[in-house]
Structure 1
Amino acid sequence: MLKRAVVLAGVLLLVTAGSSADKQFIVGGTLASVSEAPWAVVVTNTQSSRPTGLWCGGVLLAPDKVLTAAHCMTKPVSTYGAIQGRANLSDNSTGRVSGISKIWIHPGYNTKNNRNDFAILTLAKPFAGVPLIALETNPNADRRGVTLTVYGWGDTADTGPDDTLQKAAVPDLGDDACLANKEYVANGYAAASNVCAGNGSTDACQGDSGGPLVLNGRLLATVSWGKGCADADFPGVYAEIAPVAETLAQQVR
């Protein structure tokens, strides 16, 4: 299983050893504007292999708090940064930039089963005045058949410009679709803490970790892991918000 952070100097960030090399893009996406997703944030790192510093995605929960994936937090706090309001990461004339002063990782995060894949970054310079997204608190919101939207800045495999905000509609497949996959169960997929979404034409991938999966204007989940990208046999796995909504809310009050 491949965690969906940026690949570092060609080294795959694997959940388990022995997984095959996976593709690196939001598949089947279209351009998105920062006005439709102002709460979507880029998490950067000075050690990124990308010229733009792209490392992971994130979501603004408070003027000074960004939610991202715990598995993205592998470097010193001083190497991280955040960008808001910049659709094209190569355009330094737009958007707001901040350093990171503190990193909180969910105490239940476990690299063996990949659950509670959440981290909250405290911005050194708050993004004041930016609209925020509400956390989904209803566990029944994750249900088969609804259409979700995932946002990210990852590679596009020639379906669009690189390092540019994209969105993709992905179907919620329901937990049974991932629980039927022995590899996914072995890597920790759980109905109580994950969302199973995507198909053979749309999906998230590397560079999108921690980014938002949205349903009806609320944050249903964040990008976490998966095998391949846009592979009908291996859906995307997302970290579900509802089971941890109160814990996350306590960190942004």
Structure 2
Amino acid sequence: MFTRAAAIAGILVLVSAGAAAATMTQEHPLIIGGTLTSTSEAPWAIALTNTTSATATNRWCGGALVRADKIITAAHCMTKPIGTYTAVQGRADLTDRRIGRTSRITGSWIHPGYSRTNNRNDFAILTLAKPMTGVPVIRLETNPKADRKGVVPTVYGWGDTAETGPDDTLQKLAAPDLGDAVCLANKEYVGYGYAASANVCAGYLDGTGDSCQGDSGGPLVLNGRLLATVSWGEGCAEPNYPGVYAEIAPNAKLLQAEISRTTL
């Protein structure tokens, strides 16, 4: 997977086709092995499009609405001029432009500790030109103990499906939290920067399901809270290579301060 954005050399981040590569192999993937879901189930799910995308729908990354005028996504998604991005809400099928809300992006904040070398602190907060008032927002997870082996969060995204479902359509996948020990036992993942203090290791070791290109920055949700966002991994749904997610709780205070920084 590496950054699920444009591939670099092995590990990909999860963005869309056409996104710039990071220092790891980065491709923006879609959800593989998931099921279709609705925007009424996940109203805070955001599709981040970009005019430079190679896809017909301009699909680029995912995100989550955390305030009427703020969304959180992956830092590695923000490789293009701010004016080329649009946030889309309420549109499960990105080809149907008759429905949903859209807003341009007026500003972006990248986590000051973000590293393109190891993809830690892979967070960006974007400010919307047009607040999405009346849309439910998702709260940040603040408890580090929420990331624990055995819980089963759900990841949402419009990314690649490897023909397990329609592309450019909102899907979800129950992605079991495997515990940090699984990813720390993978020498490649440790070499590419996996850290128990910064990441969530989730998915299926048999390769039956995963987030993929185009899903970068999208929400991993547990008990109604944003546990993490899609960050990177080796390929998509590769056996013994689960997804790596940027964990919210260790950064919740800083992220919340940025989300609250301006008034509507």
Q: When the two structures are superposed, what TM-score results if normalisation uses the length of structure 2?
A: 0.91
Looking at structure 2, the residues matched to 46 and 91 of structure 1 have their Cα atoms a distance apart, in angstroms, of 17
Task: Find out whether 1:104 has 2:114 as its counterpart.
Answer: no
The 5 A counterparts of 1:17-166 are 24-166=29-171
Looking at structure 2, the residues matched to 146 and 3 of structure 1 have their Cα atoms a distance apart, in angstroms, of 23
Q: Report the 3-state secondary structure (helix = DSSP H, G, I; strand = E; otherwise coil) of the residue aligned with 2:258.
A: helix
Quote the offset at 1:53 in angstroms.
1.0
Report % sequence identity. 65
Map of 2:7 onto structure 1: none
Looking at structure 2, the residues matched to 83 and 22 of structure 1 have their Cα atoms a distance apart, in angstroms, of 21
Task: Find out whether 1:236 has 2:243 as its counterpart.
Answer: yes
Q: When the two structures are superposed, what TM-score results if normalisation uses the length of structure 1?
A: 0.95
Structure 1 residues 37, 185: closer, same or farther in 2, change over 3 A?
A: same
Which deviations, in whole Å up to 9, do the C-alpha atoms of 1:204-237 show, x marking residues without a partner? 0110000000111110000000001112311100
Q: Report the 3-state secondary structure (helix = DSSP H, G, I; strand = E; otherwise coil) of the residue aligned with 1:156.
A: coil
Looking at structure 2, the residues matched to 118 and 30 of structure 1 have their Cα atoms a distance apart, in angstroms, of 26
Looking at structure 2, the residues matched to 244 and 12 of structure 1 have their Cα atoms a distance apart, in angstroms, of 25
Map of 2:12 onto structure 1: 2
The one-letter amino acid paired with 1:214 is: V
The one-letter amino acid paired with 2:13 is: K
Check the 8 A contact 1:5/1:13 in 2, yes or no: no
Structure 1 residues 82, 23: closer, same or farther in 2, change over 3 A?
A: closer
Number of matched pairs: 248
Looking at structure 1, the residues matched to 45 and 167 of structure 2 have their Cα atoms a distance apart, in angstroms, of 17
Map of 1:247 onto structure 2: 254
Q: Report the 3-state secondary structure (helix = DSSP H, G, I; strand = E; otherwise coil) of the residue aligned with 1:71.
A: helix
Looking at structure 2, the residues matched to 232 and 246 of structure 1 have their Cα atoms a distance apart, in angstroms, of 35
Q: Report the 3-state secondary structure (helix = DSSP H, G, I; strand = E; otherwise coil) of the residue aligned with 1:171.
A: coil
Looking at structure 2, the residues matched to 74 and 12 of structure 1 have their Cα atoms a distance apart, in angstroms, of 6
Check the 8 A contact 1:22/1:229 in 2, yes or no: no
Task: Find out whether 1:216 has 2:223 as its counterpart.
Answer: yes
Which deviations, in whole Å up to 9, do the C-alpha atoms of 1:164-204 show, x marking residues without a partner? 00000111000000000111111110000100001121110
Looking at structure 2, the residues matched to 231 and 140 of structure 1 have their Cα atoms a distance apart, in angstroms, of 27
Give unpaired runs (5+ residues) of structure 2. Answer: 1-10
Task: Find out whether 1:226 has 2:224 as its counterpart.
Answer: no
Looking at structure 1, the residues matched to 257 and 20 of structure 2 have their Cα atoms a distance apart, in angstroms, of 33
2:21 to 13, 25, 47: 13
Looking at structure 1, the residues matched to 179 and 17 of structure 2 have their Cα atoms a distance apart, in angstroms, of 29
Quote the offset at 1:160 in angstroms.
1.5
Which deviations, in whole Å up to 9, do the C-alpha atoms of 1:100-146 show, x marking residues without a partner? 00010000001111100000110000111100111100000000011
Looking at structure 2, the residues matched to 131 and 123 of structure 1 have their Cα atoms a distance apart, in angstroms, of 15
Give unpaired runs (5+ residues) of structure 1. Answer: none
Looking at structure 1, the residues matched to 146 and 195 of structure 2 have their Cα atoms a distance apart, in angstroms, of 16
Map of 1:177 onto structure 2: 182
Q: Report the 3-state secondary structure (helix = DSSP H, G, I; strand = E; otherwise coil) of the residue aligned with 2:153.
A: strand
RMSD: 1.5
Structure 1 residues 33, 115: closer, same or farther in 2, change over 3 A?
A: same
